[in-house]
Structure 1
Amino acid sequence: MRVGRDLRVAPAITAREGYLVAGRIHGTKSVYNQIEDVHGRMVTLHDGDVIVGVLGHRNALHGYSGYVPEAITVGDRLHLLNLGGVIGVCTSQNPEVGKPFDVEILGAVLTFPDFEDRSGVPAHIGMNAIALREEPRTDVPVAFVAGTCMNSGKTAAASRLIRYLSREGMTVGGCKLTGVSLRRDTLSMMDYGAKWAVSFTDAGVVTTSPETSKRVARGLVRYLADAGAQVIVAELGDGILGEYGVQAILGDAELMKAAGAIVMCANDPVGAWGAQRVMTERFGLGIDVVTGPATDNAVGTGFVERELKLSAINARTHPEEFGAFVAGRLSRGL
């Protein structure tokens, strides 16, 4: 759903996830003080700036948690919950990001789908969204990139893998299946060589949940396969025990039939150990390779290889080795 610099707003606001609202920023911040524009550029916010955001919830360990209130009227003060423009009521914050910006609600953003319609309708990100087909396709191998928590190196690993696969001549589709709306990760996938890169936002979902994640994941994987991807790299935003629905995806037997490789990003050796237990005991799945900060040097890689009997390759420092290893796993499904 794209909006221009000139738009119309209405006082009647639908207080549900996905609806666009205009708001005025109040306050000044020195950290976590930016918003992503429609092109993916980060713009620093200042007191008095007017923005367009989307109503949604967030449950981030290293950021904010918040929800959409039952009713919203013009003049209400809500909060900016993430860099992607998600707006709601903040209930908890990580001290590293400080208090969120206050957002004074100015009205509901209107769109005019009918040429002669002058009244408009409230804009929703589901308008013009990808039509999801949930019937799974398992003939295109998927590398699922999961992590122990947010900021564990998932996007870096997914991007390095995409670069390797694309340089090997494969047509790569990238997707982010869970999390909270932000274009940064899919833009990184495109920068590294993905022919297509889509996320749950493209499917009309602001923030994934256990109720939405499986449907979205099936639909996006099917979309990329139908588009012509020979291999798909799918990032699972947040952690395997987070609240954005990763468990529902890992527990979907049909989706896991397409899993050519499972990459686990861990922040430390304990996280790698716990991830192996969770994947094996809860989902009956194996991990093909561990990467992320836990593999930043020989201390971590040695633990993973010796104690967990798993391969450990740092995607940032050894991208070729990492890419070749995962490609070898994926080749079994090609």
Structure 2
Amino acid sequence: MKISQWKYPILVSTLCASLYAIPYMLDNPTSEPEYEGTGNEETSCPISIRVDGITRPVPLEEYVARVVMGEMPVSFPKEALKAQAVAARTFALRTTNFGEKSIKPTVEDQVFSAEKDVPKVVLQAVNETNGKVLTYADELITAMFFSTSNGKTESAAAFSGYEIPYLQVRDSKEDEESPKFSAKKTFTLDEWNALFGIPWNEAQIKAIDLVRNSSGRVETMKANQQEWNGRKIRELLGLPSTDFQISLKDETIVVTTKGYGHGVGMSQYGARGLALKGKSYEDIVSYYYPHTTLQNFQGVAPACLKDSLPDNTSK
């Protein structure tokens, strides 16, 4: 597969980290990975991934399996796991420039699981998509993904200002089944004032004006003679999403949210819902990454997954 130089900007790294790491970290405290390899590091693999904090390079397909473990519940339907494997593989190859650069093992890039046991269904999902990647105009795409939408995905243009053909608003109603679909946080007026660093009163809270984009997420918050970007409010308040409502009840500020994550690309709970409806992984990635092509990347050897994990796979 011929891969050209990147025509479209990579949106992840610092942008993504600042937008969704905060709520993720609250639910998922992280520590340095303790992955020690598979015991068969002499396996000859065309591409290995260097993961920050891990001494030995990880064969690409094993890396993909461990990202699937780290990023998506293994109880999800296999077709959803396969879609995650394709996204993870594509993301890793693009982010590392085919293994030349290292990658972070956290939400800043992709969560890498250092657990010893790799579930059989995860290995099957990776094996059955071996070498599959997503491209647009003969280049690997920026395969962004997230947990749960508010019912629609976010466009790259709304997220970063860059128009990218394969990162557009998509309906994702299946996300309503996610346990993270809705949430609520409360603040006292004193807590609110401390976070913003300026004084507010109840009348100003009630007068807040939320300007939304086409996906229903807050683009701008206007209040107290000032304006804030919706993503800035999400970061400031530690919200799981930029789709939020603000109300005042019994002198308490109530912020309700829909969705979990930045909203760009593939919704993991949306992928689950589509898989439960009988959609294949090809259907899923085609839906969430429109105008892309599913191709075979030739720099992958099946043995780099099968032979490298002979004894530490769970049923």
| Pair in the same fold by TM > 0.5 | no
TM-score (norm. length: structure 1): 0.24
Please state which structure has a larger fraction of its residues in strand. Answer: 1
TM-score (norm. length: structure 2): 0.25
